[in-house]
Amino acid sequence: MTNPLYDALFGKYANADTTFITTTDGREVTHGSFLIESAQFANSFASLGLSKGDRVAVQIEKSVEALCIYAACVQSGLVFLPLNIAYTEKEVRYFVEDSGAKLFVCDSAREGALQKIALDMEASLVTLDADGSGSLTDLSSTQRATFKTVETDGEDLAAFLYTSGTTGRSKGAMLSQNNLLSNAKILAEHWEFTDKDVLLHALPIFHTHGLFVAVNVTLVSGASMIMMPKFDIRTILEKLPRATCLMGVPTFYTRLLAESDFGEVHVKGMRLFISGSAPLLTETHLQFEQRTGHRILERYGMTETNMNTSNPYRGERRAGTVGFPLPGIELKITSPETGVELGDEETGMIEVRGPNVFKGYWKMPEKTKAELRENGFFITGDLGRIDKQGYVHIIGRDKDLIISGGFNIYPKEIESLLDQEEGVLESAVIGVPHADFGETPVAILVRQPGEEPDVDKIKTRISQELARFKHPEKLLVVDELPRNTMGKVQKNRLREQYKDLY
């Protein structure tokens, strides 16, 4: 009896006394003990009446036990649905209702507020807290330490991940066992992970980056991890000398660089720094190399596909790019209007095809048909180009494209110029409504700490570098940009905030 994802990630470690997780408070969890607790969770799920294909919605803090739920779902053939811990009661209701979850796991502090959702949806509700306590743990403590793995096919669903829903209601991306396993194997091989690696894990585990990249790559390669509950700069500095790899978002690296004592002494044992989930500024890339001697490896992925491209492990990691398509994954640039493939250096829509591409959107056949072509290519919604050396450049989201007076304006082109200006830490360019042009670009500049950008000087530089129709009508200086939990700038919030400028 086989279960491809469970066998590759978990089953091979049965009874192993090798270390899987070390927590920041010194707790060591072996692969064998982890699988015992996971099996007890799986037996608990069966006792609650869950069976293959049922959905398990989870909104809890990061912990070893939270990962045990993931393993238990895989072993049971259940569909794992992790939810951002920041989601409100209203948002959670939508996800539980839309997914038809049979079980909802939440923090005990929110049990009272969320109980009605479970009752309305006829779902079981159990609790699990960051310290491992809760009604699920109580139930599992009486269960057997082994569980008969449910037989699955590689095309069976393993997880739902809901998109951010910035343009309409969130979509549930259906990910199969093959989607997750193929990507984990490719990444582990491409980044040369081995059982000698120790990953410093400071990402959330409700997102593909922290869960299906970081955790799955660790498991498939036999590596171990130091698991942090959340990103904390002083803890990162303390634990880095014990690690070999770090996966992070750009904010991790900018905050490390902001620490005056951060340098080569912390990274002597490190072999790889990876960044993703949001664009890494070229300046950050270069400053990090100057400080540490390490070039950050940037890659590109998304909810519906996991990882699509990566800068090379051996070879030039080029700042401002996301590298090349991963082995077995096809990527092309097409015209957003016609779908015709474009040539090198032409900007258009990024489309990808491969074993990593999801099965479609849950209960949204029309949306699936619109974004997933019959030939298997997924229309990502990201604009990009491929340079003459084959490196992929991300220009921005299609919805971020500004059409002013009939001209297409790509915010990334303007932002790349603004980010180089003195006194500017980073920038975001958005389109706002305009009576004459339909919409017009506005630039929001984040000031460097203790500095103030010279707006007039920047306007002069823009006038020298860019065509007139690309010039931002206004340059606004702020302290910071709104971001989501993965560090992505929330341009939809900026557009809403500045929609009445004209």
Contact predicate 4/178, CB 8 Å? yes
- Which overall architecture, per CATH, does domain 4-152 show? 3-Layer(aba) Sandwich (3.40)
Contact predicate 54/78, CB 8 Å? yes
Q: Give 65's contacts (C-beta < 8 A, 6+ positions apart).
A: 37, 128, 132, 136, 137
Q: What is the CATH number of domain 401-497?
A: 3.30.300.30
140 vs 88, residue with greater confidence: 140
Q: Are strands 297-302 and 306-310 parallel, antiparallel or unpaired?
A: antiparallel
- The pTM of this model reads 0.85
Residue 167 has pLDDT above 50, yes or no: no
Residue 166 has pLDDT above 70, yes or no: no
Contact predicate 313/298, CB 8 Å? no
Read off the pLDDT of residues 270-293 as tens digits, 9 standing for 90 and up.
999 999 987 788 888 999 999 999
Read off the pLDDT of residues 22-47 as tens digits, 9 standing for 90 and up.
999 999 999 999 999 999 999 999 99
Average pLDDT of the chain, as a whole number: 93
Residue 72 has pLDDT above 50, yes or no: yes
Q: How far apart are CA 152 and CA 203, in angstroms?
A: 29
Which percentage of the chain shows pLDDT scores above 90?
Answer: 77
- Mean pLDDT, rounded, for 242-262: 92
Residue 406 is predicted with a pLDDT of 65
Q: How far apart are CA 233 and CA 113, in angstroms?
A: 33
Read off the pLDDT of residues 102-155 as tens digits, 9 standing for 90 and up.
999 999 999 998 999 999 989 999 999 999 999 999 999 999 999 999 999 999
Same fold, 4-152 and 191-295: yes
Domain ranges of the chain: 4-152, 191-295, 401-497
Angle at 446 (CA atoms; ends 443, 449), nearest 5 degrees: 160
Taking the CA atoms of residue 230, residue 75, residue 173 and residue 104 in that order, the dihedral angle to the nearest 10 degrees is: -70
Which percentage of the chain shows pLDDT scores above 70?
Answer: 98
Q: How far apart are CA 491 and CA 449, in angstroms?
A: 22
How far lies 453's CA from each of 135, 459, 477, in Å? 54, 11, 8
Q: How far apart are CA 484 and CA 487, in angstroms?
A: 5
Residue 408 is predicted with a pLDDT of 73
pLDDT band for position 436 (cuts 50, 70, 90): low
Q: What is the CATH number of domain 191-295?
A: 3.40.50.980
Burial (CB count within 10 angstroms: exposed 0-12, middle 13-18, buried 19+), residue 416: middle
Q: Give 275's contacts (C-beta < 8 A, 6+ positions apart).
A: 247, 248, 249, 250, 252, 253, 296, 297, 298, 299
Q: Are strands 407-409 and 402-404 parallel, antiparallel or unpaired?
A: antiparallel
